[in-house]
Amino acid sequence: MTTLADYFTLGAILFAIAVVGLFLNRKNLLVLLMCIELMLVAVNLNLVAIAHFTGDLLGQVFVFFILTVAASEVAIGLGLIVALYRTRRSVEVEDINTLQG
Amino acid sequence: MERLFFDLFGAASVVAALGVVLARNTMYSVLWLIFCFFNLAGLFVLLDAEFLGIILILVYVGAVMVLFMFVVMMLEVDVASLREGFLRYLPLGGALALALLVEMVLAARAGLFAKHAEHLGREVNNTAEIGKLLYTKYLLGFEIAAVILLVALVGAIVLVIRARKDAKYQNIARQVRVRKEDRLQKVRLP
């Protein structure tokens, strides 16, 4: 029998792996974007689990909206990466230093 | 049986997530992420969210990850220089992630949450139920989501569109507005 805690634990593990991935692959913009996707989907898992265990569909509606926003975020993010690659010939985060950040 | 499938999908998704993070080649990261999404879709179905499980496969695997693949294949990425200093921030990131993980697991296991929930019967149509909610109670949010998608569409096109400078374009307005005097010149021949 699975409990809500099991799903929360799995979501936490996925989220933590994605956080480690952000630190490890901090040079590769594409993998950074993928790690963000992984974080979002880990949170989605939590929301769906809550929806199931409380018997309230609100969690699933929330996941629906998060998926929408995540899809548009990926479209914009990849557009930015392609535009960046055209001018810099690279997708390394360290090359993006025009603003001296 | 349910526990078995939870363990299967959960373990596979964790392995896939590790693959995303550790893969040497960006393309392999994309493939691992696709595998992870398939497993999470299985978990969604296990949680009575069939509609979202299908959406995850159709939209995420079918559209978003394919877009990722296109971009990875299109860009010529120097993998070796991207891997440079791969483990430099592992202590910091690992500590942060471990702290997060311990906190969240402790909170999840505190015994505050529901232990058991019955599965819905076969007569319950998940898609119809979500549809009813989306088109009544959350209609405003639904329409805002549509506008966000439209803005993302336009934004992505504007970001990557490139007008060619060497191509010859017709300017219809100028063509229509042109007068005889602009083009024709009378010269007196000797």
pLDDT in tens, chain B (190 residues): 888 999 999 999 999 999 999 888 889 999 999 999 999 999 999 998 899 999 999 989 999 999 999 998 888 777 767 677 777 888 888 899 999 999 998 988 887 776 777 777 778 888 898 999 999 999 999 999 999 999 999 999 998 888 777 778 788 888 899 888 888 888 898 8
* Cα B56 from Cα A67, distance rounded (Å): 8
B11 contacts chain A (CB < 8 A): no
Which residue is closest to A10 within chain B, CA to CA?
B10
Q: Give the DSSP letter of residue A101.
A: -
Cβ contact (<8 Å) for A1 and B78?
Answer: no
Cβ contact (<8 Å) for B3 and A1?
Answer: yes
pLDDT category at A101 given cuts 50, 70, 90 is: low
pLDDT the model gives residue B169: 79
Q: Which of A2, A19, A83 sits opposite B100 (nearest CB)?
A: A19
Domains with residue ranges and CATH for chain B:
2-77+87-122 (1.20.120.1200)
B74 contacts chain A (CB < 8 A): yes
* Cα A11 from Cα A32, distance rounded (Å): 19
ipTM: 0.91
pLDDT the model gives residue B121: 77
B86 contacts chain A (CB < 8 A): yes
Cβ contact (<8 Å) for A9 and B151?
Answer: no
- The whole-angstrom distance between A94's CA and the closest CA on chain B is 10
- The whole-angstrom distance between A98's CA and the closest CA on chain B is 18
pLDDT category at A45 given cuts 50, 70, 90 is: very high
The topology (CATH level 3) of A4-90 is: Helix Hairpins (1.10.287)
Nearest to A74 by CA among A22, A30, A23: A30
Q: Which of A21, A57, A75 sits opposite B21 (nearest CB)?
A: A21
State the pTM of this model: 0.85
* Cα B60 from Cα B57, distance rounded (Å): 6
Cβ contact (<8 Å) for B138 and A61?
Answer: yes
| Residue-wise pLDDT tens digits, B2-14 | 889 999 999 999 9
* Cα B36 from Cα A15, distance rounded (Å): 13
Longest dimension (CA), chain B: 107
Helices B139-160, A58-88: axis angle to 10 degrees equals: 10
First to last CA, chain B: 104
pLDDT the model gives residue B90: 84
Q: Tell which wins on pLDDT, B114 or A71.
A: A71
Cβ contact (<8 Å) for B20 and A35?
Answer: yes
Nearest to A45 by CA among B56, B105, B64: B56
Cβ contact (<8 Å) for B75 and A45?
Answer: no
Phi first, then psi, for residue A28 (nearest 5°) are: -100, 105
- Average of per-residue pLDDT across A34-54: 92
* Cα A92 from Cα A76, distance rounded (Å): 18
pLDDT the model gives residue B117: 76
